């Protein structure tokens, strides 16, 4: 199966963060979500497919108000990089090879800066993401390079590579 087959079969479209996505579930049960000065009614949970490809290999630095759980499906591994608000960093590989230290699922807490990258040489990496409470347009913010460099100058290499100028 090729990346184009997957894009067509799963009705994936371009994602603002990079890569491609399709929402597959948004719960019919709503909750009131109060966070960071926002009070909005939203679904209990939502699920998307997310695909990085060799021609769109980066999910750019962004932050979410909600935690997200990622699940590996197929293709090449995807490296996730986190920058916490205190400047600490983490790297995780979502992929199929447990012996090599890959994870089949990965938790991304709220309020971190995170990015993802398809491992070099891969045609595609397909995952799912579950957001609790459900994802909303107000939930995510793309990182502005100047703002991130000011907040985390010690991570300039990551910020230069994984943020949109």
139 pLDDT more than 90: no
Q: pTM (2 decimals)?
A: 0.91
Secondary structure (H, E, C), 40-84: EEEECCEEEEEEEECCECEEEEEEECCCEEEEEEEECCEEEEEEC
Asked whether 43 and 30 are in contact (CB, 8 A), the reply is: yes
Query: Hey, what domains does the chain have and what are their CATH numbers?
Result: 3-162 (2.60.120.10)
Q: Residue 138 — pLDDT band, cuts 50, 70, 90?
A: confident
Asked whether 119 and 78 are in contact (CB, 8 A), the reply is: yes
Using DSSP's 3-state secondary structure scheme, residue 121 falls into coil
Q: Residue 144 — pLDDT band, cuts 50, 70, 90?
A: very high
Average pLDDT over residues 14-31: 88
């Amino acid at each position: 199966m090729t990346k184009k087959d997957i894009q067509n079969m799963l009705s994936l479209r371009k994602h603002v963060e990079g890569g491609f996505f399709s929402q597959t579930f948004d719960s019919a049960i709503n909750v009131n979500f109060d966070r960071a000065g926002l009070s909005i009614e939203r679904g209990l949970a939502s699920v998307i497919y997310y695909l990085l490809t060799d021609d769109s290999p980066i999910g750019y630095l962004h932050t979410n108000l909600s935690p997200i759980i990622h699940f590996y499906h197929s293709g090449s591994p995807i490296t996730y990089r986190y920058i916490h608000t205190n400047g600490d960093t983490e790297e995780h590989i979502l992929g199929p090879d447990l012996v090599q230290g890959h994870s089949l699922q990965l938790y991304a807490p709220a309020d971190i800066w995170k990015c993802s990258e398809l491992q070099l040489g891969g045609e595609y990496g397909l995952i799912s993401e579950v957001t609790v409470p459900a994802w909303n347009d107000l939930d995510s913010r793309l990182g502005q390079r100047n703002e991130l460099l000011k907040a985390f100058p010690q991570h300039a290499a990551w910020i230069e590579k994984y943020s949109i100028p």
